[in-house]
């Protein structure tokens, strides 16, 4: 049998797949839901929505042919990209931890910890990529995006109109109204305390306090679990500089139609975007004689995915929603 430099470990893979970090409230996999693909390179379909709603002249003469239509669904090709990260553990650390567990002095396992911590970073990296795709104005059709400035930004409570801007965005997509609202915590903190939204929900007698997530969803007629507020943070400082944390989801609002029933990449079901996944996230170990005096192991966690936008007409982007 050929010795492999990296071996997938079922236990570490199980830890990696099951790992969740609720403290960060990552939303990327709900904004662009995962869809399994069968090969590294795969085909996916995009369909001009207008074709399904443009009614031709269907009148047919006694000896003439019925009108002939050609549907121009486009077939595109994409490939998943590999994302992975390693952590080195000297055998001296592994042996010391094993001895402590055997003696009943500790439950610490450096390999388990490394798998969990690496998974956290892989998830955060994916969150950053999804947020970049969702907040890229080039991924929206003309007329389905707006940039706010000055008194129009929702942080200007006296002059801005968040209900008008968001409702206009909802009405501006083609055919399918957005059922998913994605934003960062900094935007939500302003929206929930905006006097005009409070009045819209609670009546004209008060503009104090805040609205709940449920009240926001009722106001804009979406399901409560489709208001996605990203709270993930990332360090934007260069290596060696003081930590500078920023929200992954910035100051924008994305209004998207996401259909979780889409089953395959070439399924014609309309959805703004999805994440193609080839296989599952993996974790495992490999030998490295260069770690420490006695050598050691490297722990690796990785996944093979591709974030895609396939129907830009069913999305609307509000850029710089708050100052």
Confidence of residue 8 (pLDDT cuts 50, 70, 90): confident
Mean pLDDT, rounded, for 247-272:
92
Residue (of 161, 165, 236) closest to 199 by Cα position: 161
Separation of alpha carbons 226 and 184, rounded Å: 14
**C-alpha–C-alpha distance, residues 30 and 228, integer Å:** 8
pLDDT at 73: 55
Q: Residue 168: helix, strand or coil by DSSP?
A: helix
The model's pLDDT over 217-233, given as tens digits with 9 standing for 90+, comes to: 999 999 999 999 999 98
If you average pLDDT over residues 12-22, what whole number do you get? Answer: 71
Question: Which residues neighbour 84 within 8 Å (Cβ) at sequence distance 6 or greater?
Answer: 122, 300, 301, 302, 303
pLDDT grade, residue 2 (50/70/90)?
A: very low
147 CB-near residues (< 8 Å, 6+ apart): 137, 319, 320
For residue 4, what pLDDT band results from cuts at 50, 70 and 90?
low
Percent above pLDDT 90 for the chain: 71
Q: For residues 96 and 246, what is the distance between their CA atoms, to the nearest angstrom?
A: 38
Q: Which pLDDT value is given to residue 289?
A: 92
How far is it, in rounded angstroms, from Cα 164 to Cα 154?
11
Residue scoring higher pLDDT (118 or 239): 118
| Cβ neighbours of 75 (radius 10 Å) | 9
Residue 113 near residue 14 (C-beta atoms within 8 A): no
Give the residue-averaged pLDDT of 169-194. 96
What pLDDT, on the 0 to 100 scale, is given for residue 21?
A: 56
- State the chain's mean pLDDT as an integer: 89
What's the distance, CA 191 to chain centroid?
21
Gap between the Cα atoms of 129 and 126, Å rounded: 5
- C-alpha 134/C-alpha 31 separation (Å) is 8
Structure tokens at 161: 């109109």
pLDDT at 19: 64
pLDDT band with cut points at 50, 70 and 90 for residue 24: low
pLDDT band at 132 (very low <50, low <70, confident <90, very high): very high
Residues 200 and 41: their CA atoms lie apart, in Å, by 49
Positive/negative CA dihedral, 158, 144, 34, 132: negative
Residues 28 and 231: their CA atoms lie apart, in Å, by 11
The structure tokens 């989801």 sit at 249
Separation CA 197–CA 285 (nearest Å)? 52
Higher-scoring residue by pLDDT: 5, 85: 85
As a whole number of angstroms, the distance between CA 26 and CA 10 comes to 25
Q: What tens digit of pLDDT does each residue of 30-89 get?
A: 999 999 999 999 999 886 665 555 555 666 777 777 755 444 457 889 999 999 999 999
């Amino acid at each position: 049998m050929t010795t492999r430099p990296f071996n997938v470990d079922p236990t570490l893979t199980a830890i990696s797949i099951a790992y969740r970090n609720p403290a960060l409230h990552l939303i990327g996999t709900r904004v662009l839901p995962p869809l399994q693909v069968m090969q590294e390179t795969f085909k996916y379909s995009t369909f001009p929505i207008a074709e399904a709603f443009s009614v031709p002249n269907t009148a047919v003469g006694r000896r003439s042919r019925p009108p002939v239509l050609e549907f121009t669904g486009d077939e595109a090709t994409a490939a998943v990209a590999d994302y992975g990260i390693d952590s080195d553990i000297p055998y001296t650390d592994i042996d010391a931890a094993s001895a402590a567990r055997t003696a009943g002095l500790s439950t610490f396992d450096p390999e388990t910890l490394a798998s969990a911590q690496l998974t956290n970073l892989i998830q955060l990296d994916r969150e950053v990529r999804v947020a970049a795709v969702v907040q890229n104005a080039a991924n929206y059709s003309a007329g389905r995006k707006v940039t706010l400035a000055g008194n129009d930004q929702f942080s200007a409570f006296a002059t801005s109109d968040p209900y008008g801007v968001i409702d206009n965005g909802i009405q501006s997509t083609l055919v399918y109204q957005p059922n998913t609202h994605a934003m960062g915590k900094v935007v939500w903190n302003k929206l929930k305390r905006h006097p005009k939204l409070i009045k819209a929900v609670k009546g004209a007698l008060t503009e104090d306090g805040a609205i709940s997530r449920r009240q926001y969803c009722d106001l804009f007629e979406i399901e409560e679990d489709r208001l996605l507020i990203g709270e993930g943070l990332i360090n934007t400082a260069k290596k060696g500089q003081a930590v500078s944390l920023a929200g992954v989801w910035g100051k924008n609002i994305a209004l998207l139609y996401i259909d979780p029933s889409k089953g395959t990449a070439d399924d014609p079901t309309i959805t703004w975007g999805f994440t193609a996944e080839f296989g599952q996230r993996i974790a495992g170990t490999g030998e490295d004689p260069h770690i420490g005096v006695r050598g050691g192991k490297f722990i690796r966690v990785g996944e093979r995915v591709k974030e895609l936008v396939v129907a830009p007409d069913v999305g609307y982007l509000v850029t710089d929603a708050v100052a």
